[in-house]
């Protein structure tokens, strides 16, 4: 680990030997199912490098130019993993997670690339950084996954209380532009911004809240299995994708320009007083979904743009709940 990075930890941390001298680019997977899917789609062979006991067995697998880490459950565990990866030399990170939909435009199996986050978890309060992804990496990730039908723009709400996502609380966060909910992304955005690590996130919708206030899980939906494979095929390409043109950059259709980018030093988890108010306005529709497979290289992808249909994807039987 670079000595300059070691000096940032107070007190010095017992660093896992297998996490030293990592490649500069890698992915963090929230769940075992995502970890397995990203390993299948990795651009190079990867071998186990470390299992971090203090993180409950989070694994680090590495290749020559990339690494893969996971699973991580919840904001504290995810940020501890980010700190270790940062200490090992990581400079660019992509996070793959599961999320629940708050709007009718996102269904189980859809991919979502959030442009900002709203926090009601406690970890990000310790990191005075922006609750937003790195603009360049986010733009490449959104452009890459858009070929897989991903929606971009809008906020993700990160919470420590998945059993307290009541109708009133959901309405309050939807009024602030949230279109999906999970437990990790806001903390990763803040910690990565604080440490100077480029990070962007891609979320796979696993469940949804229905119009009548109910909840429907979609882990067994055919669309979920396809979305899992689409994510594994597409996410790695963001590291090598050519910079998108201005027309390809994601547009946040749910909030004023710059919303959610404020510094968050001393921030406390946001549990707004309006949580007891009736639900407010909902977020507007996202980028229309489509379906097109992504080739392994940008050149091959461009050649395949004229082809119709989707590549058949191998099914996976492993399912997991979003953290």
DSSP string spanning 33-96? Answer: HHHHHHHHT-SS--EEEEEEGGGTSEEEEE-SSEEEEE---HHHHHHHHHHHHHHTT--EEEEE
308 part of a folded domain: no
pLDDT at 54: 59
pLDDT at 152: 78
238 part of a folded domain: yes
313 part of a folded domain: no
pLDDT at 11: 59
Q: How many domains does the chain have?
A: 1
Q: What is the pLDDT of residues 274-302, one digit of tens each?
A: 333 334 433 333 433 332 222 233 344 33
Identify whether the C-beta of residue 283 lies closer than 8 Å to the C-beta of residue 179.
yes
- What distance, in Å, lies between the first and last C-alpha atoms of the chain? 29
The partner residues of 118 in beta bridges, in order of sequence, read 157
56 part of a folded domain: yes
Omega prior to 138 cis, within 30 of 0? no
pTM: 0.72
Distance of CA 68 to the CA centre of its chain: 14
Which is nearest to 170 in space by CA: 204, 207, 136, 134?
207
314 part of a folded domain: no
Low-confidence ranges of the chain (pLDDT < 70): 1-14, 53-56, 241-323
CATH classification at residue 80: 3.40.50.1580
Identify whether the C-beta of residue 118 lies closer than 8 Å to the C-beta of residue 260.
yes
CB within 8 A of 1, min separation 6: which ones? Answer: 15, 19, 20, 21, 87, 88, 89
319 part of a folded domain: no
Whole-angstrom distance, CA of residue 122 vs CA of residue 317: 34
At residue 168, φ and ψ (nearest 5 deg) are -65, -45
Collapsed DSSP state (helix, strand, coil) of residue 143? helix
pLDDT at 147: 82
73 part of a folded domain: yes
pLDDT at 161: 84
Domain that holds residue 59: 3-302
309 part of a folded domain: no
pLDDT at 233: 84
Identify whether the C-beta of residue 59 lies closer than 8 Å to the C-beta of residue 165.
no
């Amino acid at each position: 680990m670079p000595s300059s990075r070691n000096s940032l930890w107070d007190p010095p941390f017992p660093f896992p030997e297998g996490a030293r001298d990592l490649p500069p680019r890698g992915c963090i997977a929230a769940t075992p199912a995502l970890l397995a899917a990203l390993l299948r789609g990795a651009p190079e062979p990867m071998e186990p490098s470390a299992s971090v006991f203090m993180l409950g067995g989070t694994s680090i697998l590495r290749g020559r130019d990339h690494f893969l880490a996971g699973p991580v459950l919840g904001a504290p565990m995810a940020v501890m993993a980010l700190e270790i990866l940062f200490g090992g030399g990581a400079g660019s990170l992509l996070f793959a997670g599961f999320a629940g939909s708050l709007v009718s435009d996102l269904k189980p199996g859809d991919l979502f690339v959030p442009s900002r986050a709203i926090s009601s978890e406690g970890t990000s309060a310790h990191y005075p950084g922006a609750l937003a992804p790195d603009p360049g990496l986010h733009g490449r990730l959104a452009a890459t996954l858009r070929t897989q039908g991903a929606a971009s723009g809008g906020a993700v709400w990160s919470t420590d209380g998945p059993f307290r996502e009541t109708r009133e609380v959901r309405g309050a966060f939807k009024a602030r532009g949230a279109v999906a909910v999970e437990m990790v992304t806001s903390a990763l955005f803040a910690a990565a911004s604080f440490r100077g690590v480029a990070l962007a996130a891609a979320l796979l919708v696993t469940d949804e809240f229905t119009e009548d206030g109910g909840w429907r899980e979609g882990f067994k939906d055919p669309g979920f299995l396809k979305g899992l494979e689409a994510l594994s095929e597409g996410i790695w390409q963001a590291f090598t994708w050519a910079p998108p043109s201005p027309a390809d950059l994601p547009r946040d259709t749910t909030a004023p320009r710059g919303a959610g980018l404020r510094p968050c030093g001393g921030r406390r988890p946001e549990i707004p007083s309006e949580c007891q108010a009736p639900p407010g306005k909902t977020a507007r529709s996202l980028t229309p979904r489509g379906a097109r497979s992504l080739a392994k290289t940008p050149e091959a992808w461009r050649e395949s743009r004229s082809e119709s249909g989707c590549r058949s994807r191998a099914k996976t039987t492993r399912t997991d709940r979003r953290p």
